[in-house]
């Protein structure tokens, strides 16, 4: 049994802000830095793919304009630095952004697309980042595309199955393990179709406080779990 794909719901940045008396920007910067750390830990565990939920579609609608402005500023800054430094090229990382990206500021989308293009041919590790993403919305968007393709004869209903459906999703591959921080024991629709047989690990730590030891505990939990896949 190999742990190839880990998905993470990095919850707790705002509570970390309140706990330590930080600004939104300081707290979210800590969260962005934690992503870098977790990626390095995943590489050491020979994980081949990680997916992060950076911002839900619901959060996109409900967060204040100021908070979203700060998040988008940090996202753009991190992406621009990655492009400039070519750090993902050096590490052979393929970066993919998924979700309702058309809702984001056009300048941010342009930068994210540049980073995707720069790393498109890398195959050592895959990093997926969900922005303005909702599991329900992903399924709805897939259903719309399927209906259109059925209507135009691009796909046959007789050949339609799970594998066919997955091709219409943002991410076709299911995570082996989903980690959620922040002492919240629900998935909130993250990878809702894909998570049917994912193992779930809930950490009480706020995301910026999530440590190497906590990550190792999650990995050990996975390897000590008997995966049944419905059997």
Q: Active-site positions? A: 11, 59
- With beta carbons less than 8 A apart as the criterion, state whether 135 and 170 touch: no
pLDDT in 10s for each residue of the chain, 231 residues? 789 999 999 999 999 999 999 999 999 999 999 999 999 999 999 999 999 999 999 988 888 899 999 999 999 999 999 999 999 999 999 999 999 999 999 999 999 999 999 999 999 999 999 999 999 999 999 999 999 999 998 988 888 899 999 999 999 999 999 999 999 999 999 999 999 999 999 999 999 999 999 999 999 999 998 766 665
Q: Which two tokens stand for residue 8?
A: 């993470």
Would you say the pTM of this structure is higher than 0.85? yes
Tell me the C-alpha distance between 133 and 59, whole Å. Answer: 9
Ordered domains of the chain (ranges, CATH) = 5-134+176-223 (3.40.1180.10)
Rounded to the nearest 5 degrees, what angle is found at the Cα of 151, between the Cα atoms of 147 and 152? 120
Tell me the C-alpha distance between 22 and 74, whole Å. Answer: 16
């Amino acid at each position: 049994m190999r742990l190839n794909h880990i998905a993470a719901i990095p919850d707790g940045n705002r509570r970390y802000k309140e706990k330590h008396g930080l600004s939104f920007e300081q707290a979210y910067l800590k969260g962005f830095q934690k992503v870098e750390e977790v990626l390095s830990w995943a590489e050491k565990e020979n994980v081949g793919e990680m997916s992060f939920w950076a911002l839900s579609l619901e959060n996109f609608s409900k967060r204040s304009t100021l908070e979203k402005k700060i998040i988008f500023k940090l996202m753009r800054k991190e992406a621009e630095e990655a492009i400039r430094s070519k750090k993902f090229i050096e590490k052979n990382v393929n970066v993919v952004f998924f979700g309702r990206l058309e809702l984001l500021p056009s300048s941010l989308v342009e930068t994210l697309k540049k980073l995707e293009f720069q790393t498109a041919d890398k195959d050592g590790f895959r990093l997926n980042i969900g922005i303005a993403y909702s599991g329900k919305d992903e399924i709805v968007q897939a259903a719309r595309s399927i209906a259109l393709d059925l209507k135009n004869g691009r796909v046959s209903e007789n050949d339609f199955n799970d594998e066919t459906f997955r091709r219409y999703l943002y991410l076709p591959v299911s995570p082996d393990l989903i980690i959620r921080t922040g002492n919240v024991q629900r998935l909130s629709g993250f990878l809702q179709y894909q998570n049917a047989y994912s193992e779930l690990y809930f950490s009480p730590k706020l995301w910026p406080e999530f440590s190497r030891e906590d990550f190792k505990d999650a990995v050990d939990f996975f390897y000590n779990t008997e995966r049944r896949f419905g059997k």
